[in-house]
Each structure stands twice: as structure tokens, then as C-alpha cells.
Structure 1
Amino acid sequence: MTRPQDDRLDPALLRLIGVILLGGLLGILNSTMAAVATDTLARAFDTSLSTIGWASTGFLLAVTATIPFTTWAVDRFGGRRLWLWGLALFLAGSLASGLAWNVGSLIVFRVVQGVGAGVLDPLVLILLARAAGPHRAGRVMGLMGVVLSLGPVLGPVLGGVILQGLPWRWMFLLSVPVGLVALLLALRVLPADPPLGRQRSRVRLDVLGLALLGPGFAALVLALSQTAEQGAFTAWQALTPLATGVVLLAAYTIHALRVRRTPPLIDPRLFAGRGFAASVTIMGLGGLANFAALFALPLYHQQAHGHGALAAGLLMAPVGLGGAVSMPLAGRLSDRIGARGPACAGALVAALGALVLTRVGAQTPEVWPALAAFTMGLGMGFFSAATMGSLYRTLPAPLVAQGSSVLYMLNQLGAAIGVAVVTLILQTADDLITGFHGVFLFAFAMIVVVLAAVPLLPRREDAPLRVDVPV
């Protein structure tokens, strides 16, 4: 009888959500803003594009390598302490990046920023999931999805606006006052952690697992980044980190399955749960399709219609806007009726949008690709929010940190795969429009796989996932 009252988002929870999302938005905006400044930074430091590219690549690798540490540290030190530490580190990196005096210092300070973001990004999922509880997971993840949808779209637009009117340093320095506000609000709103007593101090760190898992995933991301830069999967710059990543992750899997006294950072047996495996697969493929669209659409508007970077960024915005509109609705709906129906409907709508984008040409008025992009974003937002809600409804509290880290790392990997595949498709196509059609055929294929995986999602009444390991 008390269920409806428990399902409401009370004012205290809404304040907590707002403060966490403000901090989480900083990392997303900063990484995507910097991506549009490559040419500007290369000229400012009188260096090559490949060298300055390491400012973004270093940030991305630092994020990926730090996530497994966050999985352990949130239970060792507490969510509030770790959030404040990560936010302070990110702000220090932002300030230092804005004051960088040469390309080497910029790359180092961007890595510091990336470590801070690697703490904050998975913590957004962990803190919100724990605060929401299973009965409100869908609607809270739907609200978080607004940030995830709009962040990658707003970043390039804001970066273009800043570069048109201000020196490049302000791309990093503007994060400082916003971050300070987020830090002060977090001090006031985030609930206090339990004292660091004996029980918490016995949360042991799997040192060998950390040395294998973080660098292993970072190596895969680097391999995909180099694939996009070199234009081939077979280049040694891509094959070397790819082989390294595969070996490290294989070694981690063997280690994690054999470890007894120290709980693994992420237990591979999580994937034995059909619902968990389906959820993270859907989110990974959805992220892949989303980043493919975000990468290809600006190129289409710039090269086929002759728009500048800012206009192309604005014309790309319907993808994120569609997700921002649909995710809160889908999350709330999935709490009421389960994930399968909303996810199936969303995948069908997203597939329709991607299919329409395979038919546009150089003479197509901009309104049609914009509407198709909005439709695709609407559908992807619907199945993403429903899937995240189902994941956290069946993930027991001790496994929330592990599940969140898996989800975020696969999202990072999906983004890197999306950019690499899109780059290769466009480079090997006969012309821009043929390549553009190929990109969205690829996105359509990924969404079809999502549709096939939807029936494997947990039902609303399914029992929580069980993993027979110490947590």
C-alpha cells in the first residue's frame, strides 16, 4: 500500500540528482568541447595535429583506466568523499589546462582532468542508482539520460561559440567557476558517508586486477583511436595496443575467476546473468549507433551543404534533443510496466530514423535529415532509459558499483568503435553521400541487434541478480 509514496521523487532526492548531474555534465562537456579545438590548439602551440590529438586521447585513456579504481574506492572511502575528491581533481586539471604553456604541459594536465572525470563519470551512475532504489530506477536514470543525450551535442556547440569569441584557454577555465559551484552544492547536499571504521578499511584492493583491467580497456580504446587516425585496422599503431588490450583483459578474466580472498573489481560472472548481459549489450550497441550519428551528421552538413562548424553542430542537435525528450518518459514508463515494451518501441522508432537517413542526398533540404535525426534520437533515448532502469531494478546494492563500471566502460568502448568504423566507412566510400549512407546502414544494423536483444531484458517482476562471490 505504500508503494506509490516510495516511488515519488521527493524534493531532497531531486536536489541530489541535480547536484550530481551538474558535476557529471562537466566531464562530458569538457571532453567534447576540446574535440572541436584541435586545429586551434595545434596553431597555438605550433605543433602537428597528431601531437595535439594526444590532449584528447590522453584524457580519454585516463578516464577509461581510472574507472576500475572507482569501482573499489566508492566502497572503501564512501561516495561523498570520492565525489568531492574527483571534482577537486577535475577542477585542478581544468585550471592547469587553461594555463598550459606548451603542448607537453597541456597533455599532462588533460590526463589529470581525465583521472578526475574517470572518478566522476561512473559515480554519477552509482550514486543515483543507490539513491533511487530499484522502484525508482527508471525515472532517475531517465533524468540522467537528459545529460547523457545533450552533453555530447552541446559540447561542440559551446566549444565553437567560445572559440569564436574568446581565447582557447577559456574552454578549460570556464569549467572552474561552474565546478566550484558544483563542489559547494555537493558539500551541502550529498549525504555524509559512514565513518571510516574497521569494516570499511577491510575493503581490500585487487591490485593485480587493477593493473590488468584498467590498462587493458585503455589499450583497446587506444587501438580504436589509432584505427580512426591511421584509417586502417591493420596499421601497427592500432594492432599493437589491440593485442596488448586483448592479452591484459584475458589475463584479468582468468585472475578474476580464480581470486578468492580479495573480491575482484568486476566479476566476469556478472555476464552469466541473461538480463545483465542483455542490458549492457543494448547500452553498448546503442552508444555505438549514437556516436556514429554524432560523428557523421556534422560532416554531412558541412561537406554536402557547406555549413560552418557552428551551424553543423546546431543541425546535429536534434539527435540529443530527441533523447532528452524521450528518456525521462521512458524511464518513468519502465518503472510502471517493465522495460521490454518501451525498449522494443524505441528500437523500432530508432531503426526507422536510421533507415530514413540512408536515403538523404546532397540536394535534400536540411529539415528532413534533422527530423530523421530527431526520430533516431527519440527512439534511442527510449530504449536506453528503459534498459538502464531494468538493469538497476535487478542489480543488488552490493553489485551496483560493478554494474555501473561495466556499463560506462562499454559505453566508452562503443563510442571509440563508432568513431573508428565511421572513419573507415567514409574513407573507403566512393563519395561523401555513399559513405554517409553506409554509416547509417551500420547504425541501422546495430539497432536491429538491439531489437533482437530486447526480449532478453529482465521482466519487471524478476528477482535480483545473484552472483556467488564475496562482494
Structure 2
Amino acid sequence: MSSISDDRFDRRLLAMIGVILLGGLLGILNSTMAAVATDTLATAFKTSLSTIGWASTGFLLAVTATIPFTTWAVDRFGGRRLWLAGLLLFLAGALAAGLSWNVGSLIAFRVVQGLGAGLLDPLVLILLARAAGPHRAGRVMGMMGVVLSLGPVLGPIAGGAVLDSLSWRWMFLLSVPIGAVAWFLALRMIPTEGQDDRPASGRLDVMGMALLGPGFAAVVLALSQTAEQGGIATWQALLPLGAGVVLLIGYAVHAARSKAPVIDLRLFANRGFTASVTIMGLGGMALYASLFALPLYYQQAHGHDVLTAGLLMTPVGLGGALAMPLAGRLSDRLGSRGPATGGAILAALSAFAFTQVEAATPEVWTVLGALAIGLGSGCFSAPTMGSLYRTLPPALVAQGSSVLYMLNQLGAALGVAVVTLIVQTSGDVVTGLHGVYWFATAMMVIVLAAIPLLPGKPQQQDASDVLAKTSS
């Protein structure tokens, strides 16, 4: 998909962004809505919480395992065709999940949804990055950040609202009409790619696919089980962790020998790329710490119900939604380092402030602190993603997007596991909150140390092949 010229940016690109983000938002909302329905689903199917938890875990593992295939398929079949197929698969899974007759069918259909989401999620990044071009990468990533910021916050609120007034089935069935609208809009708004508009696709790296996708999925499963079991020293966590490590080491050996691996590990030889994915991964860990710990604090320290606690989390997403478009646009003109540094400092100071919060602290201060964390996160996230796509040549956008998304998945799972262990080993909710935010503060300090490694001003950047250094 060729970059859209400046004089047509507002008309064509904005319409396409809206359609793509509508489809991307469905996956985020659906997965986060389902997370708040665990108790309801366990009661409905007369099963245990650990069993029903596989409806969410299966979804997550299917997403993670599918991402490497998307890296190859987008160049083989074209972004538009793959987007339509992924959205159709996601909607079929949503419809079937809403009609599930037992817990086994629900888990199976959630896996189908995850396969569709595994196509859609990296495609959001790939399609937008290719359409915008390197000079508008920050602006477009900032627009996408509105969805990324609001989705995880609005999902639990929407899920709670649905469960209060409708059957649990509607958490999945409501996606169908909205997704159908998104599918027909995509037919009209996403342009068809010619073969010349996308990089040439080689043969599918079957061995790489068999090692990388399952390897990442196994590590994510191990982290999820660590959180569920209350520690890593259990067979439920150690078995998938060991399998994942072996598979990923095997992939590293395979990629070093292969001429066309599904993900070329020499991408990490580029300093700017490595800094970008590191910052996004660590920043995601810190953000998920807030999304996990703050609702618990509001419920246990202030006695709020789940829906009220979710509403009090809105400032986190609102801050990110406000900051990302502005910071992304600014980074296109001034470079990524300045906005990212300011945002990381604000997020670090806000996280540190939460280490001083007590049970009697007025909620107005925690709400303002949550807003500041969202603003800070947005200010470094959009410029960092923009710099990644200014660093990569078009031929490597798909690989870079997949690496970014997989590491974000891994960072989120690791963040939830660490936060869960902190909370479970703390004496009370306030002590747990302090521990979580000391962890978040440490992540922000590392992010600050990595920001100087990002590329400089846009006019100074070289969009040449990032593999050139290693091949010369």
C-alpha cells in the first residue's frame, strides 16, 4: 500500500484509519469485556474459575501464535484481503461464542476469535504505517493510540454494563453487527494493493512458524499460570516456560541459518529499533500495573463495586487518548526524544506519587495521578512507535510490527504476573499498591535511560535497510 500524498491525507487516510481502528477496537473490547465475566461464566456453565479462565487464556495464546503467520501472509495475500479474512474469522468466533452450549465449545470458539485477532492486531500497525509513510508515522500512531489507550479501560466498563442488564451471551453477540459494519466499510475504504505496492513474499518459513509462534505462546502461558498459581515454582508454570525457552532458542538457531526467516533477528542490530520495542514493552508493563492494581485498591480500600472501580480507571485511558495524537504529531516535526523524555518523566513521577498513597487518601488525588500516568504514557508511546516506523524501510514494516506486538503481549503478561505476585505477597492492599508502583517507577527509569537511543530529528534519519550494517 503506497503512502498517501499530503493533499489527500485528510480525506482518504483519515477514512481508512477510522475503519481500521473500528475493527481493531473490537478485539480489544471483546477480550477485556470477557475478563470481567469470569464469575458469571463459571456460574452459567457450572464449572470452576480455573476452567473458565481458559476462555481468555485460549484467546490470548491463539493471538500470540498467529502473529508470525500474519508477518508472511500480509505480503503474500495483501493487507486488504487479509484484513477482511481476519475480521470475518473474528466475527464467526464471536457469533459462535455467543451461542456456546458448554464450556468446551466456549473455549474452542474463543480460540477461533483469537486466530482472527492474531491477524487483525498486527495488521492495524502494518496497514497504517504503510499508508502514512515515515514522515507521518508519529501522527498516525498517535491516532491509533486513542484506541490502544481507551480500549483496555472501556472494555471492563462495557462488560459490566452488559452483564448488569443483559445475558452474558451479548458480550460476544454485540460484536457481530458492529463488526459487520466494519467489514463492509473496509470493503469500500481500504484500497486494493497491487503486487508492486507490497514487498515480495518468499516461501513460508514453516520451521520458523512452528518454533516462534508456539514458543512465544508457551512463555505467555507460563506467565499467565504464574499469576494464577501465585508463583513460578509450579509445574503449571515451569512446564510451558521450559518448552517456550527451548522453542525460542531453536528459532534463534534456525533464524541464524535461514536465508528468509519469518522474523529476521538482525532487526535488533539496529539501535533505534531495539530501543523502540524495549521502551514499548517496559512502558506496557508499567501501564498494566496501573490497570491491575488500581481497581483492586478502589474496591478493597474504598469499598467500591466493580463498575465504579472501572469508571475511576477512565482517567488512565483518557490521558493516553489526549496525549498520543498531540505527541505523535509533535514527534513528526521535532523528533521522538523530546516528547518521549517529557512523557517518561511525568509517568515516573506519577508512579512514584502512588507509592505515597494511603487508604484514606482522597480519591481526587488518585484520579489526578491516574490521569497523569495516562498523559505521560501517551507522550512517550506515540513518538516511540513513530520512530520505529521511521527507522524501518517498507519491506520490513510487517516484521517490525509483529515483533512489537509480540513483545507487547509478552510485556503485558509479565507485568500482570509480577503485579499479581506483589499483591499476593503483601500484607494488605495499600502495601501491595506501593510495591506495584515501585515496580512501575523502576520500569519508567529504564525507559528514560533507553530514550536517548531513539533516532534523532526526522530529517536526520536514514530509512535505509536496517540489515545493511550487519551484512556489510
- Indicate whether the TM-score tops 0.5: yes
Letter in 1 for 2:334: I
Identify which of 340, 345, 349 aligns with 1:348: 345
Q: Give the ranges of 4+ consecutive aligned residues of structure 1 lying more than 2 Å apart after TM superposition.
A: 5-10, 193-197
Q: Tell me what 2:221 maps to.
A: 222
What does residue range 415-454 of structure 1 map to in structure 2 within 5 Å? 415-454=412-451
What does residue range 356-371 of structure 1 map to in structure 2 within 5 Å? 356-371=353-368
Identify which of 365, 374, 379 aligns with 2:376: 379
Asked if residue 122 in structure 1 is aligned to residue 122 in structure 2, the reply is: yes
Per-residue Cα deviation, 1:418-448 (whole angstroms, up to 9, x for no partner)? 1100100001011110011000010010000
Per-residue Cα deviation, 1:232-288 (whole angstroms, up to 9, x for no partner)? 01111111111111110111011011112xx11111111111111000000000111
The change in CA–CA distance for 1:140 and 1:7 in structure 2 (over 3 A counts) is farther
Letter in 2 for 1:412: Q
Asked if residue 273 in structure 1 is aligned to residue 270 in structure 2, the reply is: yes
CA contact (8 A) 1:224 1:416 kept: yes
Q: Tell me what 2:332 maps to.
A: 335
CA contact (8 A) 1:342 1:386 kept: yes
Asked if residue 247 in structure 1 is aligned to residue 246 in structure 2, the reply is: yes
Q: Tell me what 1:101 maps to.
A: 101
Asked if residue 319 in structure 1 is aligned to residue 316 in structure 2, the reply is: yes
Aligned equivalents of 2:389 and 2:51: distance in 1?
41
Letter in 1 for 2:250: A
Aligned equivalents of 1:101 and 1:361: distance in 2?
46
What does residue range 287-326 of structure 1 map to in structure 2 within 5 Å? 287-326=284-323
Aligned equivalents of 2:299 and 2:7: distance in 1?
46
CA contact (8 A) 1:302 1:309 kept: yes
Q: Secondary structure in 1 aligned to 2:9? A: coil
Letter in 1 for 2:114: G
Q: Tell me what 2:281 maps to.
A: 284
CA contact (8 A) 1:340 1:457 kept: yes
How far residue 195 of structure 1 moved from its aligned partner, in angstroms, is 5.9
Q: Tell me what 2:72 maps to.
A: 72
Aligned equivalents of 2:321 and 2:266: distance in 1?
33
How far residue 467 of structure 1 moved from its aligned partner, in angstroms, is 1.0
Letter in 1 for 2:427: D
Q: Tell me what 1:24 maps to.
A: 24
Aligned equivalents of 1:330 and 1:466: distance in 2?
25
Q: Secondary structure in 2 aligned to 1:304? A: helix
Q: Secondary structure in 1 aligned to 2:359? A: coil
How far residue 459 of structure 1 moved from its aligned partner, in angstroms, is 1.1
Q: Tell me what 1:210 maps to.
A: 209
How far residue 194 of structure 1 moved from its aligned partner, in angstroms, is 2.2
Letter in 1 for 2:365: W
Q: Tell me what 2:401 maps to.
A: 404
Q: Secondary structure in 2 aligned to 1:47? A: coil
Per-residue Cα deviation, 1:200-236 (whole angstroms, up to 9, x for no partner)? 6x62100000000000000010000000000001111
Aligned equivalents of 1:321 and 1:190: distance in 2?
28
CA contact (8 A) 1:7 1:135 kept: no
Letter in 2 for 1:401: A
Q: Tell me what 2:134 maps to.
A: 134
The change in CA–CA distance for 1:448 and 1:74 in structure 2 (over 3 A counts) is same
What does residue range 48-59 of structure 1 map to in structure 2 within 5 Å? 48-59=48-59
How far residue 7 of structure 1 moved from its aligned partner, in angstroms, is 8.4
Aligned equivalents of 1:196 and 1:46: distance in 2?
54
How far residue 193 of structure 1 moved from its aligned partner, in angstroms, is 2.5
How far residue 8 of structure 1 moved from its aligned partner, in angstroms, is 7.5
Structure 2: gaps (5+ residues): none
How far residue 409 of structure 1 moved from its aligned partner, in angstroms, is 0.5
CA contact (8 A) 1:77 1:196 kept: no
Structure 1: gaps (5+ residues): none
Letter in 1 for 2:428: D
How far residue 10 of structure 1 moved from its aligned partner, in angstroms, is 2.2
Per-residue Cα deviation, 1:363-420 (whole angstroms, up to 9, x for no partner)? 1111111100110110011000010111111110000000000000011011101110
Q: Tell me what 2:60 maps to.
A: 60
Per-residue Cα deviation, 1:14-47 (whole angstroms, up to 9, x for no partner)? 0000000000000000000000000000000000
Q: Tell me what 1:237 maps to.
A: 236
Q: Secondary structure in 2 aligned to 1:271? A: helix
Aligned equivalents of 1:253 and 1:348: distance in 2?
35
Q: Secondary structure in 2 aligned to 1:448? A: helix
Letter in 2 for 1:46: K
CA contact (8 A) 1:357 1:373 kept: no
Per-residue Cα deviation, 1:91-134 (whole angstroms, up to 9, x for no partner)? 00000000000000000000000000000000000000000000
Aligned equivalents of 1:6 and 1:448: distance in 2?
38
Aligned equivalents of 1:16 and 1:70: distance in 2?
20
CA contact (8 A) 1:130 1:397 kept: yes
Aligned equivalents of 1:196 and 1:378: distance in 2?
40
The change in CA–CA distance for 1:233 and 1:186 in structure 2 (over 3 A counts) is same
Per-residue Cα deviation, 1:333-368 (whole angstroms, up to 9, x for no partner)? 000000000000000000111011111111111111
RMSD: 1.6
Aligned equivalents of 2:111 and 2:7: distance in 1?
40
